[in-house]
Amino acid sequence: MIYVVEMDVNIPESWNEEKIADYLAREKACSQQHQKSGKWVYLWRVAGKYSNISVLDVSGPDELHSIVSSLPLFPYMNIKVTSICKHPNALRDAMI
């Protein structure tokens, strides 16, 4: 199943630079691991915000939740998930 996932990150203002740097490094490593697995197909930054729009190709909602909730910044995110499928008028079989 293909999902479009919008993630808005809200880092607590009380965090110091060291804590932020630690979380960002762990977040990068985790997201890149999922990208290398082929499950996290696309990752785009939303200009002007600490947000991203991602496309994940996973077996279903349980696997999607497992991946997204493994992110170190997961507790500090507002997440919107949209399940998508091929449109009958699309010229290509898939975007992936």
pLDDT tens track for 41-94: 999 999 999 999 999 999 999 999 999 999 999 999 999 999 998 888 988 776
As assigned by CATH, the class of the 2-84 domain is: alpha beta
Give the helix/strand (H/E) hosting 35: helix 17-36
Q: Say whether pTM exceeds 0.85.
A: yes
Across-strand partners of 78?
8
Give the start-to-end residue ranges of the domains of the chain: 2-84
What is the SS3 assignment for 73? coil
Task: Please give the order of strands across the beta sheet that includes 40-45.
Answer: 40-45, 51-57, 2-9, 77-84
Give the whole-angstrom CA distance, residue 42 versus residue 55. Answer: 5
End-to-end Cα spacing for the chain = 12
